[in-house]
Amino acid sequence: MAQKLSIIMPAYNEERTIHLILDKVKDVELVNGMERKSSLRMIAQKMIPKVP
């Protein structure tokens, strides 16, 4: 039974798991940063006076 499980579920690798989690965190931080920049850009554009 142990052999069958090892085929389905690869051996636990703590270092690889940590790297995968950190990669996901970086992705989330990147998206959050993009959202903040986009929000600031929209606010700044609304503050520009419209020229007739």
Q: What is the pLDDT of residues 6-50, one digit of tens each?
A: 455 555 677 788 888 888 888 888 888 888 888 888 888 888 887
pLDDT grade, residue 1 (50/70/90)? very low
Let me know if residue 4 belongs to a domain: no
Inter-CA distances, 29 with 22, 25, 46, 47, 51, Å: 10, 6, 26, 27, 37
51 vs 35 pLDDT, higher one: 35
For residue 7, tell me if it sits in a domain.
no
Q: Looking at the domain assignment, is residue 6 inside a domain?
A: no
Whether 1 is covered by a domain: the verdict is no
Instruction: Please indicate, yes or no, if residue 37 is contained in any of the structural domains.
Output: yes
Give the predicted TM-score (pTM) of the model. 0.50
How many structural domains does the chain have?
1
The tokens of 20 are what? Answer: 């995968």
Residue 3 reports pLDDT greater than 60: no
pLDDT attached to residue 4: 53
Spatial separation of the C-alpha atoms in residues 21 and 26, rounded to whole Å: 9
What pLDDT sits at residue 50?
A: 79
Q: Which domain holds residue 43?
A: 13-47
- Domain contains 8: no
